[in-house]
A and B are shown apart, each in its own frame.
Chain A
Amino acid sequence: LTKVNTQVNESTVRWPVEGVRRIPFEVYSSQDVFDQEQRDIFRGPIWHFLGLEVQVPEPGCYVLAQMGEVPIIVVRHEDGSIGALVNRCSHKGTPLAFVPSGKVANFMCIYHNWCFDLEGKMLSAAFERGVKGKGGMASTFRKEDNGLQRVRVHTVCGLIFGTLNAATPSFEDYLGADLIANIHRVCGRPLRLLGKYSQSLPSNWKLYIENVKDPYHASILHAFNGVMKQDRLTMEGGITMGARGWSHISYSKMTTDLGGEIYETAQMRNAELAAYGFGLRDKSMTDVWDDFGDSVSMTIQTIFPNFVLQQLRNCLAVRTIVPVGTHESELRWIAFGYQDDDERKTNGRLKQANMMGPAGLIAMEDGMIGSLVQKGIAGSLDRAAVVEMGGHGIEPIPGSRVSEGSVRGFWTGYRALMGL
């Protein structure tokens, strides 16, 4: 591998003395912070989601992914195993694949037809011996030294993760047993791909992942959630933290609303909607079933830094928030069901998918709230957000989700990797 020394401008952010209960607004806007994140987080010791195994069903099938700015090819090898390569020819840096998914025998660069096998080993270069003994590669050139850069891969229940850093701990240590158990719970049967789409968000990627990690807002900003009693903070539920508090699960049981009239009587939009009498005429979308036999109707799981595994009733999906610029990110969704779903279940999942995505009855507001925050903090980058719901720390409060502890957990990991 050809590596040269490059310099990243270290960001000059000074974290407030209060710690993770303050978030300096500068981290959402600074180009230096963005550049340092690429090195210390996305190329750092993290496990990054790359795709689903069902997207690459046969040997030679590939799908493109991103780890921050770094373009990745995820591919199924001849022996059926999954690998990932940096999508960059070792000659001039051209992407080997530029169609989002496909099936190939090997990877041939379009620029000078350098060829690599599915595991990234260099096979040949056009005219490597010249023509009639003239020209050709220098005698010092060795194909075995010029394979594609390989990405360390871990697969679990059909989910593919990768890391570019040798220091990344094992997936089990990175996540913790409780979070791995939920992956087995939601993805423990053969998956069926239902479709995908993405959203361009005019905001920093961290504003999105913070939003996902914040159960405080879910029934407030998303009034549909609250008034339709899909997810309320008065329901039985809680937060489970992953290893070191960096990743989390928020869960609730919609059949166990502990009651109280808070949503109907407090100064909240839910009360206005309840007074208006908001309700659904069609009941088919709320015709749900218990997929896992545990009456847990909602789980939102994050894996640090930017991955979400979603179970909203029977609506199952993964999301990845890809940083594009300081004020731009791309939110990629993949919806799935199970291969043994009958038609009723498949149709039910597809109908419940009205809750997610760019037109999601619940998810819609998440697409724009980050851009509003970004507008609000402009010109105030010396100030900080106040994140004190549920205390100062990252310890979950048993049985309660009225907490931003999981948000503080994200920033705990962020500060550790960024040295802030």
Chain B
Amino acid sequence: MTMFNQEFAVSSLEQAELERDARRLIVDYTYAIDDGKLADWPGFFSDPCLYRITTRENEQNNLPLSIMLCDNQAMLYDRVEAIERANIFEPHYYRHVLSDSVTRKIGADQIEMDTSFHCVRTMLDGRMMLFAAGRYADRIVREDGVCRFRSRTVVLDSSRVDTLIALPL
């Protein structure tokens, strides 16, 4: 990391600001999903971008399959429209709980961070379950002073999903 910092000649103050803004992005994203503001979801990403959900098992075995894969903003909007208009599922809410984020790599206007999460799913009849646990592996870029996800990979600890994943994690 030291080498990287020297290469980009980033001051510790600028680093701290970028880290702070990136953490804010991660938190804002989480509340948008959990508050049901699905229409806001694509706006958290740059264009082009990469959003994918995969499993620890596929990642460890270098298998490229995703459970969900969007590699541009149009695909994110398509996903939102499919969820809101076409797909049918029992309505439910997510409640994410995040760990503190760890910085893996930092440059002038981009930062790579990992964040652990739990996600509880609650159905309208009151059934609740620990639906997912895993890690966000994020590459966040600052464009015009605003942090956005260049890529967000959701690595699920379990390879088995209960019933279905309608809403993005």
The main secondary structure of chain B at its interface with chain A is: mixed
- Whether the Cβ atoms of B160 and A353 lie closer than 8 Å is no
Alpha-carbon gap, A280 to B78, bound state (A): 6
- With A278-B81, A282-B75 known as contacts, the answer to whether A359 contacts B53 (CB < 8 A) is yes
Whether B69 pairs with A367 at a CB distance below 8 angstroms is no
A86-B57 Cα distance, complex, nearest whole Å = 24
**Docked-complex contact B90 and A353, CB < 8 angstroms:** no
Nearest-CB residue, chain B, relative to A333: B65
The smallest beta-carbon distance between B79 and chain A, in angstroms, is 8
Give the shortest distance, in Å, between B47 (CB) and chain A (any CB). Answer: 11
- B160:A330 contact, CB within 8 angstroms: yes
Q: Known interface pairs A195-B64, A285-B75, A359-B67. Does A365 touch B163 (Cβ–Cβ under 8 Å)?
A: no
Contact with A along B33-66 (1 / 0, CB 8 A): 0000000000000000000011101100101111
Whether B166 is near chain A, meaning CB under 8 Å from some CB there, is yes
What 0/1 pattern do residues 131 to 168 of B give for CB contact below 8 A with A?
00000000000000000000000000001111111100
Instruction: Please report the C-alpha to C-alpha distance between residue A281 and residue B166 in the assembled complex, in whole angstroms.
Output: 19
Q: Chain B: which residue is nearest A194 at the CB level?
A: B65
Residues of A within 8 A of B90 (CB): 368
Q: Which residues of B contact A346 (CB under 8 A)?
A: 64
A110 to B82, CA, bound (A): 49
Residue B58 contacts which of A195, A358, A367 (CB distance < 8 angstroms)? A195
A358-B67 in contact given A196-B159, A199-B160, A364-B164 (Cβ < 8 Å): yes
Q: Is the CB of B77 within 8 A of A198?
A: no
Q: Which of A115-123, A221-229, A288-296 is the contact stretch?
A: A221-229
A365 engages B66 (CB within 8 Å): no
Contact of A200 with B by CB under 8 A: yes
Cβ-neighbour of A361 out of B66, B82, B162 (below 8 A): B82
Q: How many A-B residue pairs have CB under 8 A?
A: 119
Q: Can you name the residue of chain A whose Cβ is closest to the Cβ of B87?
A: A364
Give, as a whole number of angstroms, the nearest-CB distance from A123 to chain B: 30
CA distance A280 to B53 in the complex (A): 21
Q: Does B86 contact A (CB under 8 A)?
A: yes
- Which B residues are CB-close (under 8 A) to A153? none
Instruction: Find chain B residues with CB under 8 A from A368 CB.
Output: 89-90, 163-164
Q: Does A202 contact B (CB under 8 A)?
A: yes
Query: Does the CB pair B55–A358 fall under 8 Å?
Result: no
B85 within 8 A of A: yes
Q: Give the chain A neighbours of B68 by CB distance below 8 A.
A: 354, 359
A193 lies within 8 A of chain B by Cβ: yes
A273 and B88 CA atoms in complex are apart in Å by 13
**Contact (Cβ within 8 A) A359 B78:** no
A276 in the interface, Cβ–Cβ < 8 Å? yes
Interchain Cβ contacts under 8 Å between A and B, 27 examples: A195-B61, A195-B63, A195-B64, A196-B58, A197-B55, A197-B57, A197-B159, A198-B159, A199-B162, A200-B161, A202-B162, A202-B163, A223-B86, A223-B88, A278-B81, A278-B86, A282-B74, A350-B64, A350-B65, A350-B66, A353-B65, A354-B69, A358-B67, A358-B163, A361-B86, A365-B87, A368-B90
Spell out B's residues near A (CB within 8 Å): 53-55, 57-58, 61, 63-72, 74-75, 77-79, 81-82, 85-90, 159-166
New contact pairs (13) apart from A196-B63, A354-B66, CB-CB < 8 Å: A195-B54, A195-B55, A196-B159, A197-B161, A200-B163, A202-B163, A278-B81, A280-B74, A281-B74, A351-B71, A354-B70, A359-B165, A368-B89
